[in-house]
Structure 1
Amino acid sequence: MFSGEIVICGGGIIGLTLARELLKIGADDIIIFDKEKELGCHASGRNSGVLHAGIYYDPGTLKANMCLTGNQRMQAYCEEYGLPILKSGKVIVARNEEELTTLDELQRRAEANGATVEMLDEKQLAEREPNAKTFERALFSPMTAVVDPKAIIAQLKLELESSGKVRFFRETQFIKKKPGNDQIETDQGDIAYTIFINAAGALSDKVAQSFGLAKKFRLLPFKGIYHQLTKSAAQKIRGSIYPVPNIKNPFLGIHFTRSPHGNVYLGPTAIPAFGRENYGLFKGIDFESLSILYRDIHLLIRNPKFRGIAQEEPKKYIFKHFFSDAAKLVKHLTPDDLVRCSKVGIRPQLVDVSTSQLVMDFVVEKHENTIHILNSISPAFTSSMYFAELIVNNYINHI
């Protein structure tokens, strides 16, 4: 049996930044365990790398409170360690007159959250992002940046290992909470803890339920597929071009993102998936797939917002539908400008099965000497360094 003062389940961005924050308050015996060979193999290492700037989120929510400060801290971290970062900003464009109302609402939310934004007319948009296309107005976010998530994860791992106070157990899968004591069972043996933190991302609901928590929550995976622009087409994109989203849903729509390495990606989709790691057409489909399909059907019947997603998003597996969505955001784009790429991710979206609603905010549940972080979806990567501080201050320090 192994033991640690603080045991963290999950080696993604939340688990790593929590360990970093715990070191700051004097923790000297931390175990991080993960079922994969490497850290950040799932959402943390597969996201677009965009550091969001507090535009989309309702003032007062956890997402709104943490996003902007998290953005600033992550940018500073990249600069401190010389990690790739592109401070290109982002434009949000309207595809028709009806979307102008939402564009104005995004400006209101951004300003309420303390973010810097600027409303541009078509001429100003052309000066900033010449190939972007909008209806009358667009919103510019100068604080949006793009980073390399895998480089950040690698640096955090190096920093934690160098402390001599953090141990990593890879290829170690959580099985269950052992009854009657502060121990968990893994496929590599039992681990005893004084404090346990569930940062398991796509498996966080299952881990929490093993502790008797999160009974009304279930995870519903959504698949994000991408295309990439050819080099010649990529030269026409300076930064990031986003559509006005449906703010009733937690998805932002297909968009253009220039990476700090010069590549320009289009995506992601939000296609309902049939497994928590269903990255391929059939890969990642397992015994749980029938339960996920049941939840899909249940939401299809009871939730009009999900019904809209389920009817529209799967079409984007077909190239012409994916291309059509992307082409609405720019003046010049041809089908030959897009090439398929291997980049694909899963958004582990939490659902409240008692109300049949998608959960829009982060969820943190505390029980005795355990903390469970649920629904750590976008902007979780952006927010992670500030999120970690708040978890430590508001939960760990009170155990």
Structure 2
Amino acid sequence: MKDIIVIGGGIVGLSTAFSLSRRFPHANLAVLEKESAWARHQTGNNSGVIHSGIYYKPGSLKAKFATEGSRQMIQFCREHGVDYDQCGKVIVATKPSELPQLENLFQRGRANGLDLSLIGEEQIKEEEPYVKGIKAIKVPQAGIVDYKQVCERMVHDLTKRGAELHLNTEVKQVMEHDHNVEIVTDKKTFQTKFVVNCTGLQSDRVTKMAGVEIDLQIIPFRGEYYELIPEKHHLVKNLIYPVPNPDFPFLGVHFTRMIGGGVEAGPNAVLSLKREGYKKTDFDVKDLSEVMTYKGFWKLASKYWKEGAKEMWRSYSKKAFVKSLQELIPSVQEEDLVPASSGVRAQALQSDGTLVDDFFIVPGKRSIHVCNAPSPAATACFPIGKAIADKVPELEMSPRVFIHS
């Protein structure tokens, strides 16, 4: 009998286990992950940005956890030897019509406790010489990191603390009883006193397995990237973002210097035909049929069809993708970009067509379910993990048996 099992080996699942191992140092703790390695999905396929918290509604979990999380992430990296760079970024208005939204974003960031500055054309050129903009927000708190390294360090720490870590272990059933939870996997059946569901792209399914009713479904959006060829890396010093479109729930294509070298450009945001579909050709009948028969999706599509059509066009037209990038850096040309790997965002959508905007955590009888944790969840993983660990009730811990070889 385990005391606590965490399902999901991405950065949110591992950070939750990390916090649980500190709150309950004598707990018999286990983590189950269906893949053959940690951080294989959202964590391992994002651009590695340490977000500042500027975009999020003051008072929301995203705002609170992103601002706290960026500080805690940098502290963790320093203590555990993880590669990071708090390089800062600029959010650039390229035309007068974007200035009111830029000002709103600046005020939101200040309300979230960030030390920001508004800069003009000359200062933009000092920060990013190849950017064409009329005004920008300088965000010194933003940075870049290798989130896979962060996960590796947490796995090492959990192993030292005696946690059981199970890869290649896919959960098939979760049954909550009065005094325990039964978890059936493709390897064996686990008994535990409490379970935490951090399964990202599968989170709604695991929640429903446990008998917890939720009015939402995960809709997968694929983000496609290009990479600048080495000869053009000089065009981007750090992070360059556009002013986000207030009529669309994504940030728009941007330039990101990567911690391991290179510069990515993107992403767009298109519906993925498979929950874990990283290629245009990836397709799953069950995944797609769930989307197509969900009334919330059609309500969302009717609201954002114009923006969605533009995203789809950019997916199939490199010329259109480059044209969007040229709004920030006019000198970028098609031949300067080569395709890079994609990521898939797990976005929770309610049946009335409302996108779940904030992190969304749902309790069960003997469980907690993280039902919405898209970006900036990687940045915010330590506050998220602690918040979840704090919600786990005090348990009568099972005696732990250590086998020495």
Q: Which residue of 363, 367, 370 maps to 1:370? A: 367
- Of 384, 389, 392, the match for 1:387: 384
Partners of 1:86 and 1:259 within 8 A in 2: no
**CA deviations over 1:301-352 (Å, ceiling 9, x no partner):** 56554323421111112211111111111142111111112x1110011000
Q: 2:156 aligned with 1:172, yes or no?
A: no
Pick from 308, 311, 319 the counterpart of residue 310 of structure 1. Answer: 308
Letter in 2 for 1:256: F
Please state how far the C-alpha of 1:397 moved relative to its aligned partner. Answer: 4.1
Aligned counterparts, 1:194-343, within 5 A = 194-295=193-294, 299-301=297-299, 304-317=302-315, 318-341=317-340, 343=341
Partners of 1:235 and 1:294 in 2: how far apart? 47
Matching residue of 1:94: 93
8 A contact 1:300–1:310 mirrored in 2: no
CA 1:104–1:62: 2 relative to 1, 3 Å: same
* Counterpart Cα distance in 1 of 2:329 and 2:75: 31
Deviation at 1:214, TM superposition (A): 4.1
SS at match of 1:374: strand
Separation (CA, whole Å) in 1 of partners of 2:100 and 2:234: 31
On the 8 A contact 1:33/1:169 being kept in 2, the answer is yes
Aligned residue in 1 for 2:392? 396
Counterparts of 1:81-160 in structure 2, within 5 Å, are: 81-134=80-133, 136-160=134-158
What is the CA-CA distance between 1:293 and the residue it aligns to? Answer: 2.9
**CA distance, structure 2, for counterparts of residue 298 and residue 16 of structure 1:** 31
**What is the percentage of aligned positions where both structures have the same residue?**
30
Query: What amino acid is the match of 1:231?
Result: P
- My pick for the range that moved more, 124-133 or 172-181, is 172-181
Q: Shift of residue 262 of structure 1?
A: 2.4
SS across alignment from 1:178: strand
Question: Any idea what SS the aligned residue of 1:379 has?
Answer: coil
Partner of 2:400: none
Residue 213 of structure 1: CA displacement?
2.1
Q: Shift of the alpha carbon at 1:97? A: 1.4
- 1:261 partner SS: coil
The answer to whether the Cα contact below 8 Å between 2:171 and 2:184 also exists between their aligned partners in 1 is: yes
* Secondary structure in 2 matching 1:320: helix
Distance 1:361 1:305 in 2: 20
CA distances 1:253-281 after superposition (whole Å, capped 9, x unpaired) = 11100012221001111111111011112
Distance 1:301 1:361 in 2: 19
**Distance (Å, rounded) in 1 between the aligned partners of 2:257 and 2:319:** 22
Structure 2 counterpart of 1:33: 32
User: How many Å apart are 1:250 and its aligned residue?
Assistant: 3.2
User: Contact 1:223–1:279 at 8 Å: present in 2 too?
Assistant: yes
CA shift digits 1:353-379 (9 cap, x unpaired)? 1x2111111101112221001111000
CA distance in 2, matches of 1:236, 1:39: 33
With the length of structure 2 as denominator, give the TM-score of the two structures: 0.92
Q: Which residue of 1 aligns with 2:159?
A: 161
Change (3 A) 1:357 1:398: farther
* Contact persistence 1:227–1:265 (CA under 8 A): yes
Please give the secondary structure, in 2, of the residue aligned with 1:380.
coil
By how many angstroms is 1:287 displaced? Answer: 2.4
Q: Which moved more, 1:226-235 or 1:26-35?
A: 26-35
Distance 1:302 1:278 in 2: 21
Query: Aligned partners of 1:333 and 1:16: how far apart in 2?
Result: 39
Match of 1:6 in 2: 4
- Cα pair 1:8 1:32 within 8 Å, conserved: yes
Cα 1:294–1:94 change in 2 (3 A) is farther
Q: 1:177 and 1:106 mapped to 2: Cα distance?
A: 42
Aligned partners of 1:146 and 1:259 also within 8 Å: yes
Once the two structures are TM-superposed, the CA of residue 210 in structure 1 deviates from its matched residue by 1.3
> Would you say how many aligned residue pairs link Structure 1 and Structure 2?
391
Please list the CA deviations of residues 24-71 of structure 1 after superposition, one character each: whole Å capped at 9, or x if unmatched. 123331110011000110001111100100100001111011101100
Do 1:300 and 1:307's aligned partners in 2 also have CA atoms closer than 8 Å?
Answer: no
Higher mean displacement: 260-269 or 118-127: 260-269
CA contact (8 A) 1:176 1:185 kept: yes
Q: How many Å separate the matches in 2 of 1:306 and 1:32?
A: 38
Local SS of the residue matching 1:157: helix
User: Within 2, Cα distance between the matches of 1:371 and 1:62?
Assistant: 16
Q: Which residue of 1 aligns with 2:398?
A: none
C-alpha distance in structure 1 between counterparts of 2:158 and 2:142, whole Å? 27
Give 1:386's aligned amino acid. P
SS in 2 for 1:381: coil
Q: Is the 8 A contact 1:205 1:214 kept in 2?
A: no
TM-aligned CA deviation for residue 286 of structure 1: 3.5
Q: Distance in 2 between matches of 1:308 and 1:397?
A: 47
User: Which residue identity lines up with residue 235 of structure 2 in the other structure?
Assistant: K
- Describe the shift of the 1:77–1:99 C-alpha distance in structure 2 as closer, same or farther (beyond 3 A): same
Q: Is the 8 A contact 2:176 2:365 kept in 1?
A: no
Label 1:249 to 1:62 Cα distance change in 2 as closer, same or farther (>3 A): farther
- Aligned residues of 2:176 and 2:366 also touching (Cα < 8 A): no
Q: Which amino acid aligns with 2:258?
A: S
Match of 2:43 in 1: 44
Of 170-179 and 115-124, deviating more is 170-179
C-alpha separation in 1, matches of 2:394 and 2:29: 18
Q: Provide the alpha-carbon RMSD of the alignment.
A: 1.7
SS in 1 for 2:342: strand
